Amino acid sequence: MAETILKATDVVSGYGKLEILHGINVEVKEGELVTIIGPNGSGKSTFVKTIIGLVPCWSGNISIADPKENQNFNVTSLKPYQIVTSGIPLSYVPQVSNVFPTLTVEENLKIGGFVKRKDPSYNFKKKVEEIYDIFPRLKSRTGQSAALLSGGERQMLALGKALMSEPKILLLDEPSAALAPVLADVIFHEIQTLMKLGLSILLVEQRATRALQISDRAYVFVSGEVAHSDKAENILHNPKIGEMFLGKR
């Protein structure tokens, strides 16, 4: 039985006075790819932002476990930079503007690795090479500013930047947003590659069918609540959900 890495219990949060999430329970186990699907405005992105601390968590509990070192972190009330700098193995890739446009590709990766700059066992150059092995496209662009990357490359850089801090769990907020269908396929392919590295991934996606095809489990969010959760295959073949969210008839 794989261990639970991310566990969110009864999470309530929102913007200003507007409550968006009304008690969410989500769990991600080690080595799992979990997808969150749901209609627009159902609180998918808000949920991910609540985990990383961009949106304050009103009540409930979010904890992240590091199975290798047997540690358990409570991230409920931490600021984003505190989560990242206190050694919690969590990385978040936002939906848009997920790279620093005026910085070069290498500097972008550098920022991803800054968290570990006090760790003596961390070898920055080796890590960069690893990232370049995963995303060979980036290597030819090392000294170029990120603003000049194409859409697909930018997503790769964002993923690479997130991987620099050696996370155990990745939160991906619509990595295929604003990409052509072909490029989206490439990104999904890359996500599968990442899974082979032993990462756990929590994926929020609009392209539900495509995401469900590659994921292990899935949650369906409807207006701030978990309406359904099951294995991805079951959801993919569930006629009712298919009709409502996946455009099947």
Partner 1 sequence: MTDAIDLDEELLYPEEVNIDQAIAEMRKRKELIYSLLIISVFILVSSYLLTVVDLYRQNYVAQVYFTLVKASQFILVSVGLTLSIRVKKFANFAHAELLTVGLYTVVAINDLNLNLFFNNLLSLLFFAFIMGGLIAILSELLVFGPLAKRKATPLSLMVASIGVGLIIRHVIQQFLPGGGVPVIMVLPLPSFWLSIGNFLLTVPLVGSFLASPFNDITTFGIFGSSKTLTVSNIGVISILSMVIMVLTLQFLFKKTYLGISMRATSDDEDLSEISGINTQSITYWTWFISGGITAFGGVLLFSSGAVVPFAGFSQLLIIFAVVILGGFDSFEGTLISGFIIAGIQTLTIMINGIIANNVPPGSPLSYTVFWNPSADWSNVGPFLMIIVVLIFRPRGIFGLVDPGSKL
- Give the footprint of partner 1 on this chain (CB under 8 A): 52, 54, 79-81, 84-85, 92, 94, 97-103, 107, 110-112, 114-115, 117, 137, 144-145, 148-153, 161, 165, 182-183, 185-186, 189, 192, 213-214
- Confirm if 57 and 77 have CB atoms less than 8 A apart: yes
- Confirm if 83 and 52 have CB atoms less than 8 A apart: yes
Distance of closest approach, residue 23 Cβ to partner 1, in angstroms: 25
Distance of closest approach, residue 187 Cβ to partner 1, in angstroms: 11
Residue 76 or 98 having the CB closest to partner 1: 98
Residue 116 or 226 having the CB closest to partner 1: 116
Residue 28 or 99 having the CB closest to partner 1: 99
Distance of closest approach, residue 107 Cβ to partner 1, in angstroms: 6
Distance of closest approach, residue 225 Cβ to partner 1, in angstroms: 26
C-alpha 69/C-alpha 63 separation (Å) is: 15
Burial environment of residue 47 by CB neighbours within 10 A (0 to 12, 13 to 18, 19 or more): buried
Q: Which two tokens stand for residue 55?
A: 């949106």
Residue 170 or 226 having the CB closest to partner 1: 170
**Distinct helix (H) and strand (E) counts, the chain:** 10, 10
Residue 186 or 222 having the CB closest to partner 1: 186
Distance of closest approach, residue 21 Cβ to partner 1, in angstroms: 19
Cβ neighbours of residue 123 under 8 Å, at least 6 residues apart? none
Residue 23 or 114 having the CB closest to partner 1: 114
C-alpha 68/C-alpha 238 separation (Å) is: 36
In angstroms, the first-to-last Cα distance of the chain is: 37
Note the helical H segments in the chain: 44-52, 80-85, 105-113, 124-134, 136-139, 151-163, 181-196, 208-214, 232-237, 239-245
Distance of closest approach, residue 247 Cβ to partner 1, in angstroms: 18
